[in-house]
Amino acid sequence: MSPTGCPTVVERIRASTRTRHENLEATAFSTAMLAGTLPLDRYVDQLAAYRVVLKALEEELSRATGPCVTSVWSADLAKLPLIDRDLTYFAEGGVFPASVAAAPAQAFAREIRAAAASDPRALLGFLYVLEGSTLGGTILRRYVAEAYGLRDTDGVTYYASGDRERWARFTARLNEVLPGQGEQDGVITAVGRAYHHIAAITRALSAGLVAAP
């Protein structure tokens, strides 16, 4: 709760996305990952899809000049180099993405670039979802490493990047620059759109898979 007694933007986001998050966790892709039965090329394909999204998002965040965005975005939040490291690792081993999620990833990237032109603050909503996804990745990393026999951070650099202290600083900055409901609404809408696109990517990655218990 903010000092004014109104919900913070992060509190509002959490309340509005709880069901969406649970739905993503129940998909065939997510359950197969936890069960250790996810085909390796589907895992690599998720990395490739997220690369398309992160490239658009991080480029637009880096170009943004408004104080609201520049007060929250910092270079230490960049995930694109981590994705590239993982994809390079798998490519050197002859494993390439199946590209089943390319179309929904490109659709997400297009919306990111359109939002950057019309309402740059919306980028913060997209960033919230992508940055938050790596917190869960710290748990998923173990399952992924065991399933594919990976050592250290080989192939799991992106999933190993979650940092609760950095997340706390990020959400604190977000609450600070978006104190009023009117300022928060567009960002919360962008969060919903991000979940919409992530769900589309995950559906594509789930094609032909059976949800594990």
Q: Which residues contact 165 (CB under 8 A, 6 or more apart)?
A: none
What whole-number distance in Å separates Cα of residue 101 and Cα of residue 41? 11
**108, 120, 116: which is closest to 177 by C-alpha?**
120
Q: Which range (39-43, 137-141, 153-157, 203-207) has the least confidence?
A: 137-141
Expressed as residue numbers, the domain containing 45 is 9-206
Count how many domains the chain has: 1
pLDDT of residue 67: 92
Cα 58 from chain centroid (whole Å): 12
CATH number at residue 170: 1.20.910.10
The SS3 assignment for 83 reads helix
Report the chain's mean pLDDT, rounded to a whole number. 92
Q: Are 205 and 42 in contact (CB under 8 A)?
A: yes
What whole-number distance in Å separates Cα of residue 200 and Cα of residue 203? 5
Instruction: Let me know if residue 142 belongs to a domain.
Output: yes
Instruction: Let me know if residue 212 belongs to a domain.
Output: no
Instruction: Let me know if residue 2 belongs to a domain.
Output: no
pLDDT top residue among 17 and 84: 84
pLDDT of residue 21: 85
pTM value > 0.85: yes
Instruction: Let me know if residue 129 belongs to a domain.
Output: yes
- Is 60 exceeded by the pLDDT of residue 61? yes
pLDDT of residue 78: 94
Instruction: Let me know if residue 31 belongs to a domain.
Output: yes
- Is 90 exceeded by the pLDDT of residue 119? yes
Instruction: Let me know if residue 24 belongs to a domain.
Output: yes
Instruction: Let me know if residue 51 belongs to a domain.
Output: yes
Q: Are 73 and 173 in contact (CB under 8 A)?
A: no
Instruction: Let me know if residue 211 belongs to a domain.
Output: no
With 0-12 CB in 10 A as exposed, 13-18 as middle and 19+ as buried, what is 63?
Answer: exposed
What average pLDDT does the segment 53-61 reach?
98
Angle, helices 28-35/40-63, rounded to nearest 10 degrees: 120
Nearest 5°: CA angle at 129, between 139 and 156? 35
- Is 90 exceeded by the pLDDT of residue 211? no
